[in-house]
Copies of this chain bind each other. A is one copy, B any other.
Amino acid sequence: MKTVRLVLIGLGNLGRRFCQVLEDKHDTLLERYDLDLVLVGAADSRGAAYDPVNGLGPGTIVKLKMDGGTVADYPEVGRRDWLAPSLVATARADVILEASPVNLEQGAEPGLSTIRTALRRGMHVATPNKGPLVVAYRELHDLAAEHHAKLRFDGTVAGGLPALYIGQRDLRGALVRRMEAVPNLCTGYVMDMLADGTSWEEARRHARDAGVLEGDGSWDLEGWDAAAKLVILANAVLCEPATMDDVALTGVTGLEPDRLQAARERGKRYRLLARAVIAPDGGYELSVAPVPLSPHHPLGGLGEKQMGVVYETDIYGTITAIIDEPSPVPSAATMLRDVLDMYVEA
């Protein structure tokens, strides 16, 4: 039996759900893989808890957070005078799970610093946080290699869909001629409502109320979220050192509801499509734009809870992968997928 000590930074939507998954799956993982996953530390914005001896109860953390509390109130070992940076800098752990919110305006902090510290200390990292990967893809990979640490980030693209794993492993040796992705749910959700005849104002409000859009929604609706995911896909799968500046970006905010309704009448459905198409010089042209998809397009039938990716290759045909993700659990569970990928033999 191998014990794997985890520290989780960030107890929002994903972090809390990851705790629930860990609580539910602990015994199965022990039985199936001989792995004892122990959460030894956790931090949210108000404090931290750390117990390297007995570990923390993930279920206890779920309860604290569901009640609107903080992990700083964890019995006996919770502390308000400790925050994530101190925990990551000192904890004895095998894997840091970085699940703080994406924050590109602030230079992807605090996630970026957390990941740097963890890798420098030789700890593996699993993160669904796009920010640090978009800002410092190469630097973080070099840092991981230098310290013999693993860096996994399957949850950064298309929720629980293993879009990155499929692209990185199953397409080895291939030339990807074209990659297309619908990498988030929220833009499709809003565009479907507009096509139904809902006004922009109402659609935004509905999406916010349903928890689909965060803040004023501009990160998603202006296409930044899709562009960030495309940048990560391009780096990871296409080995293209792309940044946000390389993406020709058109968001959905300028779309007239009339156009969406007209497309629907012609049997088409708009989706915000992230695309990489090979260029004559061998590089890739990257774009994000709302596109009316026919039902014959591999992603043309995506419903409002579905995301997908298409890889058109030279030797493996065209491979499409789609996820139906009715809740954020699959996105949170990508951290478990990443940890198991580190420790379970292929």
- List residues of chain A with CB under 8 Å of any chain B CB: 21, 25, 28-29, 32-33, 150, 159-162, 165-166, 168-170, 172-175, 239, 295, 298, 301, 315-326, 329-330, 333, 336-337, 340-341, 344, 346
A337 touches B319 (CB 8 A): no
A159 to B336, CA, bound (A): 29
A205 CB to closest chain B CB (Å) equals: 27
If A315-B25, A322-B319 touch, whether A172 touches B344 (CB-CB below 8 Å) is yes
Q: List 8 tightest A-B contacts by C-beta distance, closest first.
A: A162-B170, A318-B324, A172-B340, A317-B330, A315-B333, A317-B325, A320-B322, A321-B321
A329 to B318, CA, bound (A): 12
A160 to B322, CA, bound (A): 17
A340 to B150, CA, bound (A): 19
**Interface CB pairs A-B, < 8 A, 23:** A25-B173, A28-B175, A160-B317, A161-B319, A166-B170, A166-B321, A169-B341, A173-B337, A295-B301, A315-B329, A315-B336, A316-B330, A317-B324, A318-B324, A319-B323, A319-B324, A320-B320, A320-B321, A320-B323, A321-B321, A321-B322, A322-B322, A346-B346
Q: For the complex, would chain A's binding face be called helix, strand, loop or mixed by DSSP majority?
A: mixed
Among the listed B28, B318, B346, which residue makes an inter-chain contact with A323, where contact means beta carbons less than 8 Å apart? B318
Among the listed B165, B239, B301, which residue makes an inter-chain contact with A170, where contact means beta carbons less than 8 Å apart? B165
Please tell me how many copies of the chain the complex holds. 2
A298 touches B322 (CB 8 A): yes
Which of A175, A326, A336 neighbours the largest number of chain B CB atoms within 10 Å of its CB?
Answer: A336
Q: Kindly list chain B residues whose C-beta atoms are within 8 Å of the C-beta of A316.
A: 160, 323, 330, 333, 337
A201 to B316, CA, bound (A): 33
Q: Kindly list chain B residues whose C-beta atoms are within 8 Å of the C-beta of A239.
A: 32
Q: Kindly list chain B residues whose C-beta atoms are within 8 Å of the C-beta of A150.
A: 346
- A165-B170, A315-B329, A320-B321 are known; give 7 further A-B pairs, CB within 8 A: A160-B315, A162-B319, A166-B166, A168-B346, A172-B340, A173-B336, A322-B322
